[in-house]
Structure 1
Amino acid sequence: MTQSLFIITGAMAAGKTTVANALARRFPRSALVGGDVFRRMIVNGAAAMGPTLDVEARAQLTLRQVIATDAVRRYVEAGFTVVYQDILIGHDLVAAVERLRDLDPRVVVLAPSAEVLGQRDRDRPKTGYSEAFPPSVLAEALARETPRIGQWIDSSAMDVEQVVETVLGR
Structure 2
Amino acid sequence: MSERPLPRGADAPLDVPQVIVVTGVMAAGKSTVSQLLAERFTRAVHLRGDEFRRVVVRGRVDMSPHGDPEAERQLALRHRITARTADTYAQAGFTVVVQDLFVGATLAPFLEQVGSRPLSLVMLAPDVGTVMQREAERTKVGYGDLWSIRDFDHKVRTETPHIGLWLDSSQQTPDETVDEIARRLPEARIA
TM-score range, shorter chain: over 0.9
Rounded to whole Å, the distance in 2 between the matches of 1:160 and 1:41 is 28
Instruction: Provide the alpha-carbon RMSD of the alignment.
Output: 1.4
Aligned counterpart for 1:151 among listed residues 165, 174, 186: 165
Aligned counterpart for 2:65 among listed residues 20, 31, 51: 51
Rounded to whole Å, the distance in 1 between the matches of 2:30 and 2:48 is 9
Is the 8 Å Cα contact of residues 22 and 124 (structure 2) preserved in structure 1? yes
**Correspondence for 2:15:** 2
**Correspondence for 2:100:** 86
Q: Which runs of 5+ in 1 are unaligned?
A: none
Rounded to whole Å, the distance in 2 between the matches of 1:103 and 1:52 is 35
Q: Which runs of 5+ in 2 are unaligned?
A: 1-13, 185-191
Displacement after TM superposition at 1:53 (Å): 2.5
Is the 8 Å Cα contact of residues 12 and 128 (structure 1) preserved in structure 2? yes
Rounded to whole Å, the distance in 2 between the matches of 1:104 and 1:93 is 17
**Secondary structure in 2 matching 1:168:** helix
Alpha-carbon displacement from aligned partner over 1:50-96 (angstroms, at most 9, x marks no partner): 22320000001111010011100000000001100100012211112
| Equivalent residue letter for 1:95 | P
**Secondary structure in 2 matching 1:8:** strand
Is the 8 Å Cα contact of residues 43 and 94 (structure 2) preserved in structure 1? yes
How many residues are aligned here? Answer: 170
Rounded to whole Å, the distance in 2 between the matches of 1:42 and 1:68 is 14
| Equivalent residue letter for 1:116 | T
| Equivalent residue letter for 1:65 | H
Instruction: Verify: 1:33 aligned to 2:50, yes or no.
Output: no
Between 19-28 and 88-97, report the one with greater CA deviation. Answer: 88-97
- C-alpha spacing 1:102/1:33, structure 2 compared with 1 (3 Å): closer
Rounded to whole Å, the distance in 2 between the matches of 1:16 and 1:123 is 15
Is the 8 Å Cα contact of residues 10 and 88 (structure 1) preserved in structure 2? yes
Aligned-residue identity in percent: 38
* Bigger radius of gyration: 2
**Secondary structure in 2 matching 1:169:** helix
Calculate the TM-score normalised by the size of structure 2. 0.84
**Secondary structure in 1 matching 2:98:** strand
Rounded to whole Å, the distance in 2 between the matches of 1:82 and 1:37 is 15
Instruction: Verify: 1:134 aligned to 2:141, yes or no.
Output: no
> Whose RCO is larger (CA < 8 A, sep 6+)?
1
Displacement after TM superposition at 1:132 (Å): 4.1
**Correspondence for 1:63:** 77
Give 4+ residue runs of structure 1 displaced > 3 Å after superposition: none
Is the 8 Å Cα contact of residues 51 and 137 (structure 1) preserved in structure 2? no
Calculate the TM-score normalised by the size of structure 1. 0.94
**Correspondence for 1:163:** 177
| Equivalent residue letter for 1:41 | V
